[in-house]
Chains A and B, each alone.
Chain A
Amino acid sequence: MTRAVALAVYGFLHIPLLVLTAFSFNSSKFTVWEGFSLKWYRVILQDTRLLEAAANSLIIGLISTSIATALGTLAAYAMWKRRAHYLEGSLYLSLITPEVVTGVSLLAFYQWIFRYLDIRLGMHTVILAHIAFSLAYVVIVVIARLRTMDASMEEAALDLGATPLQAFWRVTLPQLTPAIVTAALLAFAISFDDYVITSLVAGVDSETLPMAIYAMARRGVSPTVNALSTIILVAVGFVTLTAERLRRS
């Protein structure tokens, strides 16, 4: 019984995306199959705006994920040693803040900053925003792993004369690597996927992929969105498989 329901739910999760993928190869833009064609993929690869948006999303994702993962891991470790109540509170608060509120509050913040510093909205404002909201997710994942980890190895290292920094760097961190990778993947997915906050704080030269997709979706049906989503699905599937392989080995 559970099995039947579970398989049905898997179907619910995947069928919409599979249908989307199937019709990305349709030669017409209507939902009547008219023949196999790769033309929508060709359209995408020639659409400079989409390619730039994809590049922007990747750059923003990589930079913000690296920084958020590093900062978040350090914070999680420190909070595991001894709780930091204000930081914890702020992290949870940032999780429950609706995205639209985070976005407009950052926009208001930037408005104030711009009075005193000569900077403008752009990639950097987006990257900063992404770091801010990814931090909580990283901390949660890493601290969950820390709590189930065996602390005796680190204590042994300290007993043997290692400094706290050495103990962290050479004993705990290697044990944490799988959790850090998971946290990084999570942060990247959230950053790559974000529309609401990014659209509010992006500026010139900083349109991201979700913003481009939203613009396309608002203008009506177009199989280019299907083709784009298939590419994303395949790329993400590939990355997930590789990450899984790396984790096992």
Chain B
Amino acid sequence: MKRRTLFFYGLSGLAGCSRPRPRLYVYNWSDYVAEDTIPNFERESGIEVRYSVYESNEELLAKVFSGNSGWDVVFPSNYYVPPLREHGLLLPLDHARISNVANLALRNPPWDPRLEVSVPYMLGAAGIVYNPSQAGNIGESWQSLWEPSLKGRITMLDDPADTIGAALKKLSLPLNETTEAALLRAQTELIKQKPLVRAYLNAEARDQIVAGDLAAAHLWATTSAQAIEAAPHLRFLYPREGFAQYADTAVILRESRNPEAAHEFLNYLLRADVGKDIAEFSKTATPNAAARALLPVEQRDNPVLYPAVPGEYFATLPAGTQRLRDRIWTEVKSA
């Protein structure tokens, strides 16, 4: 019944009826809150939350850059925080109103020291998920995704940063490489790999590897953890040459019409019990130390989600490098 009320309320909202409760517009990745996270917040705070989801950073950015997208709280990946900040699109956070930030293990990240405009929300990383019966004994290296014997049963992420990053790490180069010569070597690697790749897929690869169509996939840790839960014979590994890490962060947009409610919402998300529910439901790694302590043991110490050796964070790259990488991606796709 509650959902139907929400639906009709939404309809009347569209018709422009008056709204007695304050409203908060939140735009987040799909499957990134537990089922009762939002309803509990609405009940406790009396604020109504209009919650929408997206599947990629691009969808978010194109609208946020318009400067008047209508959202209050959004969740960009960490390497988008500096550009958003430079464009004056983020509201500086008032730490007095988000005291739960003390729960975080990550208080001084490279993209936002002192957490002035963002708060880390969920951690992620990209590695290799594979089917041992099909892939055999693959080594702990990115080379596994370049194995000719696995031709047609490999997928790579449809994300330039992740996939170019994988090629760079395979060559033992830094993830955020900027020199042209090095990047062109990565391009050669990817073009060499292309005949072996079945497709460039993101979350779609999960269903396929669970169904047994794939031998190995370049996939995010969270998605891989979900795949392993559906098909326990699958394995995940972090290649020894290094891998990419990222953090999805929560930010308040400067255009927000309700900064108090936005701060209240962030503070709520930073609570230990709320963080624990979210991490447990979405099977992601959480930067919230207090929440992590509350998780069941299999999740808390899951080596898939919490790598033993840290990876490298994606950094925001200068315009020239960005353009070169974009061109490399086009070259690889067009090969």
Which residue numbers of A lie inside 8 Å of B, CB to CB? 30, 46, 48-49, 51-52, 55-56, 59, 104, 107, 110-111, 114-115, 118-123, 199-200, 203-205, 207, 215, 218-221
Contacts and interface: CB of A to CB of B under 8 A. Distances in A.
B11 interface: yes
Nearest to A104: B62
A205 B25 CA distance: 9
Nearest to B59: A199
B207 interface: yes
Nearest to A201: B63
Interface stretch (B50-58, B142-150, B187-195, B319-327): B50-58
B202 A120 contact: no
A219 B55 contact: yes
Contacts of A119: 68
B334 interface: no
Nearest to B204: A220
A182 B169 CA distance: 58
A107 B7 contact: no
Contacts of A104: 62
15 contacts: A46-B3, A51-B7, A55-B7, A104-B62, A107-B63, A107-B66, A111-B66, A120-B255, A121-B63, A200-B62, A207-B52, A215-B53, A218-B55, A218-B204, A220-B207
Nearest to A200: B62
B294 interface: no
Contact of A204 (B30, B50, B59): B50
Contacts of B132: none
B181 interface: no
Contacts of A115: 67
B152 interface: no
Given A114-B68, A218-B204, A219-B203, A203 B7 contact: no
A123 B52 CA distance: 14
B70 interface: yes
A36 B321 CA distance: 55
A204 B49 CA distance: 11
Given A215-B30, A219-B203, A220-B206, A48 B6 contact: yes
Most buried by A among B13, B68, B255: B68
Given A203-B69, A204-B25, 20 more contacts: A30-B211, A48-B4, A52-B10, A55-B7, A55-B11, A56-B14, A107-B62, A111-B65, A114-B66, A114-B67, A120-B69, A120-B255, A121-B63, A200-B62, A204-B71, A205-B25, A215-B53, A218-B202, A218-B203, A221-B207
- 10 residue pairs, one from A and one from B, having the closest CB atoms: A114-B68, A120-B70, A220-B207, A204-B70, A203-B70, A120-B68, A111-B66, A48-B3, A204-B25, A219-B203
Contact of A59 (B14, B67, B71): B14
Contacts of B11: 52, 55
Nearest to A220: B207
A206 B211 CA distance: 35
Nearest to A221: B207
Contacts of A219: 30, 55, 203-204
Most buried by B among A51, A123, A215, A219: A219
B3 A215 contact: no
A118 B257 CA distance: 11
Contact of B52 (A118, A204, A218): A204
B194 to A, nearest CB: 22
Nearest to B71: A204
Most buried by B among A52, A121, A204, A207: A204
A122 to B, nearest CB: 6
Contacts of A49: 53
Contacts of B53: 49, 215
